[in-house]
Amino acid sequence: MDNQNTVERLDSGVGSLAHPEQTPTVETLANRVRKTRRSKSWTQQKLADLAHTTQAVIQKIENGKSLRPRNIVALAKALEVDPSWLMFGASGTESLPLEAIAVAKAWSELPEPQRSSVKDQVMRLLRSP
């Protein structure tokens, strides 16, 4: 996937970076967190402790009440999975580096017109020699 498509997908709000031929077996963030946690035989409290959050936050994520958790990188690290897989169900070959996820998260929290300005600057950098 080239950088322009990645930026356009992030900007358009497309939530999945998974390969079409490799549909994730666990379809939602809530299910991926729950399934991975249970595969390790961990309680919600243990995951919360490892991710430096609370059991209530883990419960909200697993119940589907938190679709864009702020601590996705910490959760992924605690669960020993790729953050992009955890968030989007993306395969390892399509996953974004942690730095890219952090930048995308920060970008998504910017208000307009700063978001558009940053996107325009990144796109100009991609086109420059």
Decide: pTM greater than 0.85. Answer: no
Quote the CA–CA distance of 12 and 29 in Å, as a whole number. Answer: 19
Q: What is the pLDDT of residues 77-110, one digit of tens each?
A: 999 998 888 888 875 545 567 787 788 888 878 8
The low-confidence residues of the chain, meaning pLDDT below 50, are: 1-25, 93
104, two tokens: 């995308």
Q: Where are the domains of the chain?
A: 3-15+25-127
Q: Domain 3-15+25-127: give its CATH architecture.
A: Orthogonal Bundle (1.10)
Residues 6+ apart with CB under 8 A from 57: 48, 66, 69, 71
According to the model, what pLDDT value does residue 58 have?
95
According to the model, what pLDDT value does residue 124 have?
87
